[in-house]
């Protein structure tokens, strides 16, 4: 449905531009947007490489395992259906750490691994388990302390102060994560899962 809406918007824009004699502006804008997209992607590769490298070093140094031990009491409360020694806890922690740093792309592999581990413990394989639902809610709404990707985009766009969004990002994402945890808890309690 969304694809149809986008297609209609594009067609209406192109037809309007053609009827008003501005079709050359459509072509010029499309080419400039494609060029800008490539420039931003290349610049973001540097930011992503830096943070992914730091995450890899932290993982090899045992920092992630230490963080997992520190966070495990809270994570266990959020995921009460998981076994105490569940192998899903490691990828869940890594995913949340990547999201904390605003590295959504870096969080994806850890999220996929966490879902694979959660699926192994799922008693009904063709239905999402409560732990999977909780993880999805956390992954989608995770608090972001350092929005590295957005800071990189703002730097590329020439922002005078690209880091000025940190405070509002922390507040907004903290509200989103709190709401997700509360709603997830209420649904689990209501459904007694």
**What are the domain boundaries of the chain?**
25-191
In DSSP notation, the chain reads: -HHHHHHHHHHHHHHHHHHTT-HHHHHHHHHHHHHHHHHHHHHHHHHHHHHHHHHHHHHHTTHHHHHHHHHHHHHHHH-TTS-TT-TTHHHHHHHHHHHHTT-HHHHHHHHHHHHHHHHHT-SSTTS--HHHHHHHHHHHH---S--HHHHHHHHHTT-S-TTTTHHHHHHHHHHHHHHHHHHHHHHHHHHT-
Is the confidence at residue 174, as pLDDT, over 80? yes
The per-residue pLDDT for range 86-128, each reduced to its tens digit, is 888 888 888 888 787 777 777 788 888 899 999 998 888 888 8
The per-residue pLDDT for range 33-53, each reduced to its tens digit, is 888 888 877 877 776 677 677
Tokens of 3: 């694809």
The pTM of the whole model exceeds 0.85: no
Is the confidence at residue 193, as pLDDT, over 60? no
Round the CA-based radius of gyration of the chain to a whole number and report it: 21
How confident is the model over 139-159, as a mean pLDDT? 84
Of 97 and 179, the one with more pLDDT: 179
How confident is the model over 138-142, as a mean pLDDT? 89
| Per-residue confidence band for 192, with pLDDT thresholds at 50, 70 and 90 | low
**Residue 103 Ramachandran class (φ > 0 left, ψ -120 to 50 alpha, else beta):** beta
């Amino acid at each position: 449905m969304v694809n149809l809406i986008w297609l209609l918007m594009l067609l209406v824009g192109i037809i309007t531009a053609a009827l008003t004699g501005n079709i050359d502006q459509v072509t010029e804008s499309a080419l400039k947007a494609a060029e800008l997209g490539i420039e931003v992607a290349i610049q973001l590769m540097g930011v992503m490489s830096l943070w992914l490298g730091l995450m890899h070093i932290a993982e090899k140094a045992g920092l992630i395992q230490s963080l997992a031990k520190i966070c495990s009491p809270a994570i266990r409360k959020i995921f009460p259906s998981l076994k105490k020694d569940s192998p899903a806890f490691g990828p869940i922690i890594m995913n949340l750490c990547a999201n904390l740093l605003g590295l959504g792309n870096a969080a994806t592999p850890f999220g996929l691994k966490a879902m694979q581990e959660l699926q192994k413990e799922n008693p009904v394989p063709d239905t999402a388990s409560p732990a999977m639902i909780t993880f999805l809610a956390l992954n989608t709404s995770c608090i972001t302390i350092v929005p590295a990707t957005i800071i990189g985009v703002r730097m590329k766009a020439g922002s005078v102060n690209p880091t000025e969004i940190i405070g509002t990002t922390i507040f907004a994402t903290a509200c989103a994560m709190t709401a997700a945890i509360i709603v997830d808890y209420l649904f689990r309690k209501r459904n007694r899962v």
